[in-house]
Amino acid sequence: MKRILTIIAATLLICSAAEAQNAYNYQKRSHYAVLPVHRSSIVFLGDSITDYGDWSEWFGNAKIINRGISGDRVEWLLTRMDPIVEGQPAKIFLMIGTNDLAAGATPEAVVENICKVIDRILTESPRTRLYVQSLFPVNGEAFKDKMAKKNHWSKGAEIIAVNKALAEECAERGVPFIDVYSSLTDSRGMLDERYTNDGLHLMADGYKVWVELLRPYVK
């Protein structure tokens, strides 16, 4: 009986993971598996916050390519790295992890998986200049009616913990760590309402702040 229950639990876990990694995720992965990454490419890599950015337009640079996927997690990103590292791009801007926290992962697990991404890039694409960005703040205070984001809103302390540990890991590896978090917070340490309409994602004014922080590194 115990064996049967174990099998049932494992099956449910697999089904749950497959459902979480939704149709959009697989659609985008299929595109990114075919679209080329060149040695001159500047890759923006992450989840929805990266996905929603029109990076080549913001910077006026056709070499910038977007490899963000809405809803993506670090554990899933690890399985779609091949086309990126094989392309040996000039630069990679990495920012991911909030969805993992919302799904119940610990800060330690998130940092461990991000470090796997970092180490793979450093090992398999050593010519690539890698920039790791902090996770962004969240704000549920003004958006309590939008219940779909409540798991993300509750992870403010965990986000801070990830950023602290990630900065330390990057320093050990000699990888630049860009603190975007501090430039997006209000006086309470939450995502400034001027930059968001759901407490998680950015409006244009938020992207403007982000872009100006990254501009010296993108050049």
What pLDDT, in 10s, does the model give residues 20-58? 568 999 999 999 999 999 999 999 999 999 999 999 999
Euclidean distance between CA atoms 53 and 206, whole angstroms: 11
Residue 17 resides in a domain: no
Residue 22 resides in a domain: no
66: domain CATH number? 3.40.50.1110
Euclidean distance between CA atoms 39 and 54, whole angstroms: 21
What does pTM read for this prediction?
0.88
Residue 183 resides in a domain: yes
Which stretches of the chain are assigned E, i.e. beta strand? 42-46, 64-68, 91-95, 129-133, 177-178
In which domain, by residue range, is 105 found?
35-218
In terms of DSSP bridges, do strands 129-133 and 42-46 run parallel, antiparallel, or are they unpaired?
unpaired
- Number of helices followed by number of strands (H, E) in the chain: 12, 5
Euclidean distance between CA atoms 36 and 61, whole angstroms: 16
Residue 26 resides in a domain: no
Q: Write down the pLDDT at residue 21.
A: 63
Euclidean distance between CA atoms 65 and 188, whole angstroms: 34
Residue 14 resides in a domain: no
The dihedral over CA atoms of 11, 15, 101, 198, expressed in degrees to the nearest 10, equals: -160
Q: What is the pLDDT of residues 63-105, one digit of tens each?
A: 999 999 999 999 999 999 999 999 999 999 999 999 999 999 9
Number of domains forming the structure of the chain = 1
In Å, how far are 98, 130, 152, 186, 196 from 202, measured between CA atoms? 14, 23, 14, 14, 5
Determine contact, residues 131/121, Cβ cutoff 8 Å.
no
Q: Write down the pLDDT at residue 219.
A: 87
Q: What is the pLDDT of residues 153-210, one digit of tens each?
A: 788 999 999 999 999 999 999 999 999 999 999 999 999 999 999 899 999 999 999 9
